[in-house]
Amino acid sequence: MTGFTPRSIGNPLATVAAWVFASVVLLSFIEHFVHRALMHRRGLPPALYRRFAFLEGYWRAHAVLHHATYYRRFNFEPDPLGREIDMRLGVRTAARLYAGVFPLVLLLWLVEPVGAIVFSVVAFTHMYFWGLVHHEMHVPASGFLQRRAAYRFLARYHFLHHRYPVLNLNVVNPLADRVLGTIARPKPCDVREMLRLGYLRPRHPRTLQRLARHVELLELPARGGRRRKTGAMA
């Protein structure tokens, strides 16, 4: 009996879809590793940091400046010097990240060229989307994204990463966090702040009542711009 591989699927569209799925899963784990080992730690051999100075720069930009200096309060950073630090993946950074996984791409090419092509396309799409949503999370500007429930889920997820930097290391696809057990659990103060930021938008008063029992809220923004006292809902 032969094992299942994307190549074993006869339908070309099904083959591409299988490689897309496999690439999305793999990139979640790659993102998790890069975020944890390169951006929050100096997790590579010291010789690499001596040889490639930009590795130290990535760690400093993310762990020291982005997390510990400018975005301790997550969004609306007033300092123009820090507002854009480590927000998007530039072309040079994207090329370096792709170079880091190029041995894997080469291996895929030897096994199945379609897989290498699909993985490369998904990888660059992943990096573009990472920069798009990461920037929007910290410098909100797109009403279209803010209205999307999927975006607000990712924003809540990344908000908790800033509260607990060793957790919620994925930004685009939290699969690796779930598999590896690095999921953050919100505390009442976190729920209160996510409500204030608009990342939690309960649709029913009963849901608000349940939240009010666990979170001390003096007032909560209501739909339509008015503010209501949570005590009136108890």
Residue 185, domain member (yes or no): no
For 52-106, write each residue's pLDDT tens digit.
999 999 999 999 999 999 998 888 788 888 889 999 999 999 999 999 999 999 9
Judged against a pLDDT cut of 70, whether residue 204 lies above it is answered with: no
Q: Which domain holds residue 98?
A: 9-146
Give the count of domains, the chain.
1
CB-CB contact of 58 with 40 (8 Å): no
Residue 128, domain member (yes or no): yes
Residue 142, domain member (yes or no): yes
Judged against a pLDDT cut of 90, whether residue 156 lies above it is answered with: yes
Give the contacts of 196 (CB within 8 A, at least 6 positions apart). 221
Residue 114: what residue type? V
Least confident of 5-14, 33-42, 152-161: 5-14
Residue 189, domain member (yes or no): no
Residue 179, domain member (yes or no): no
pLDDT of amino acid 4: 54
Residue 166, domain member (yes or no): no
Residue 85, domain member (yes or no): yes
Judged against a pLDDT cut of 90, whether residue 168 lies above it is answered with: yes
Q: DSSP string of the chain?
A: -PPP-GGG-SSHHHHHHHHHHHHHHHHHHHHHHIIIIIISS--S-HHHHHH-HHHHHHHIIIIIIIIIII-TT-S----TTTTTTT-S--HHHHHHHHHHHHHHHHHHHHH-HHHHHHHHHHHHHHHHHHHHHHHHHHS---HHHHT-HHHHHHHHHHHHHHHSTTS---SS-THHHHHHT------HHHHHHHHHHTS----SHHHHHHHHHHS--S-EEPTTS-EE-GGGG-
For 104-122, write each residue's pLDDT tens digit.
999 999 999 999 999 999 9
* Mean pLDDT of the residues in the chain: 86
Residue 102, domain member (yes or no): yes
